[in-house]
Amino acid sequence: MLDGILLGLSTALSVQNLFLVTMGCMIGTLIGMLPGLGPMSIIAIMIPIAIGIGDPSGALILLAGVYYGAIFGGSTSSILINAPGVASTVATSFDGYPMARRGEAGKALTVAAIASFIGGSVGAILLMIFAPALSSVALLFHSAEYFALMVLGLAAIAAFSGQGNVAKAVLMTLLGLIMATVGEGALFNVARFTMGFPQLQSGFGFITLAMAMFALPEAIFLVMHPARSGKGDKSAAIGKLRITRQDARDMAPVVGRQSLQGFFIGVLPGAGATIASFLGYAVERNLASPAEREKFGKGSVKGLAAPESANNAACSGSFVPLLTLGIPGSGTTAILLGALISLNVTPGPRLMTDSPEIFWAVIISMYIGNVVLLVLNLPLIPYIAKLLSVPRPFLIPFILFFTLMGSYIGQNNPTELLILVLLGIGATALRMADYPLAPLLIGFILGRMMEDNFSRAMQLYRGPSFLWERPMTAALLVLALILLVLPTWRSRRERKRKIDTSMGD
């Protein structure tokens, strides 16, 4: 293995390749900041250029830089303007955006950069050690287990509900699940709930819904409460960039745990970074002390670090099935697989023996991509964060522009804008009534995957018997039940204890 690492290092550390990875990181970060252009589209755009390089290692190194850059760029738009362009950075906005509003945009970006860096690096190291061994683990999961995993993700919704809002959160989750059923289902090519609009035949677009739930209501609120945005919002100042020693101490265990957990979830094809980030957030919230738990959703360093390290580690994890089995676990890795094949590299069990230099170059380039990204971005953060010092009257149209552009660009379809505005109005109304919107988006994201896997399992077993016949499915479902009941049980116990102590007075 050491030979392999050295081989990879010598390939990746050439002047040309270092230049490529730097370019890739820069392009990825810049384009990734625009909501609507996620890693998938950016990599698709870069593929012809990468293939033009001719040398597979160089091409891969460029693409790895673009990949990591784009993920980091996506976090930036989540934190600064509450506009997550990719599903895996939705959880980033839960605490990142409140931090930015509190005037800690610089710190939030730094936390995100460091958590991403550690997540990505740990992921790359784990990939190096475990890739061959883990390839079989990735295959343990059948549709039944994926279904149970999605249920687990949904059960974690309670974590996003805040206090006393469990009923509302569950309601919004259900609404999200219902919205996920719009369009053609997995088992029948019949359009459902499209009300005759062909634009809805493939369902609501993720980016449109994300923009409508998060960014658009935010902009509308800023317009409606100019006083609040002028005074209460201190983000005009970028705030301090440095993270305190206390922050570092808070972050360390979270990042450590989530780098590991994220990586292993990322190994499962199809689960990937999104589930990793949601579950990471939920797990950390459950592990936190009651006082800290209060801060989640209001700008907690832990709440920001958890999804950021988890989604980056999961991205590294998704390379396990890609490189060892040739199975792309996500849309992005599917595009990377296409690029590899056009470079005459066929990922699979033979890759490591047939062309070890490429296998190792990929892994090392991922690591270098992470380092370059950190070195490149830390000094840039003050300038990126300056975006928020733009006076509100100018910033609002800016947010609106990116929101609208983001949802238009993926589909090139003007109807998407109408859908966006209508959903945005609905979301604003819900927000005014104090309904949390994150569970809706999560329900929507997980609902599709859950339904697909559920219907596959149902068809394979010709009924629901997979729920008890497959031990791992049952175990995951029990875990989900615990996750669902735990917060309620905990708060009941606390209430009881309070009563007990007051009785004792």
Kindly list the residues in this chain that would bind another protein in the complex (CB under 8 A): 40-41, 44, 51, 138-143, 184-189, 191, 198-202, 269-270, 321, 325-331, 333-335, 337, 341-342, 346-351, 410-413, 415, 452, 456, 459-460, 462
Which residue, 110 or 143, has its beta carbon nearer to another protein?
143
CB 436 within 8 Å of CB 160: yes
In angstroms, give the least distance from the CB of 435 to another protein: 29
* Residues 6 or more apart in contact with residue 197 via CB below 8 angstroms: 415
CB 203 within 8 Å of CB 448: yes
One-letter-per-residue 3-state SS of 461-492: HCCCCHHHHCHHHHHHHHHHHHHHHHHHHHHH
Our CA dihedral for 291, 479, 271, 21, rounded to 10 degrees, sits at 40
Strands (E), 148-301: 183-184, 191-192
3-state secondary structure of 207: helix
Q: C-alpha distances in angstroms, 361 versus 136, 140, 159?
A: 23, 28, 40
Q: Which helix (H) or strand (E) holds 373?
A: helix 356-377
Our CA dihedral for 224, 228, 230, 231, rounded to 10 degrees, sits at 170
The tokens for 63 are: 């693409």
**What's the helix, strand, coil split of the chain in %, to 5?**
80, 0, 20
Phi and psi of 434, rounded to 5°? Answer: 70, 35
In angstroms, give the least distance from the CB of 328 to another protein: 4
DSSP symbol at 247: H
For residue 319, which of 490, 110, 64, 118 has the smallest C-alpha distance?
64
Cα–Cα distance for residue pair 474/467, rounded to 1 Å:
6
479: left (phi over 0), alpha (psi -120 to 50) or beta: alpha
Which residue, 85 or 303, has its beta carbon nearer to another protein?
85
Cα–Cα distance for residue pair 471/11, rounded to 1 Å:
45
CB 373 within 8 Å of CB 72: yes
Which residue, 187 or 390, has its beta carbon nearer to another protein?
187
Our CA dihedral for 256, 375, 33, 228, rounded to 10 degrees, sits at 80
CB 86 within 8 Å of CB 76: no
3-state secondary structure of 183: strand
Phi and psi of 300, rounded to 5°? Answer: -90, 135
Beta bridge partners of 191: 184
Which residue, 252 or 341, has its beta carbon nearer to another protein?
341
* Residues 6 or more apart in contact with residue 341 via CB below 8 angstroms: none
Which residue, 65 or 347, has its beta carbon nearer to another protein?
347
The tokens for 394 are: 């100018």
In angstroms, give the least distance from the CB of 449 to another protein: 9
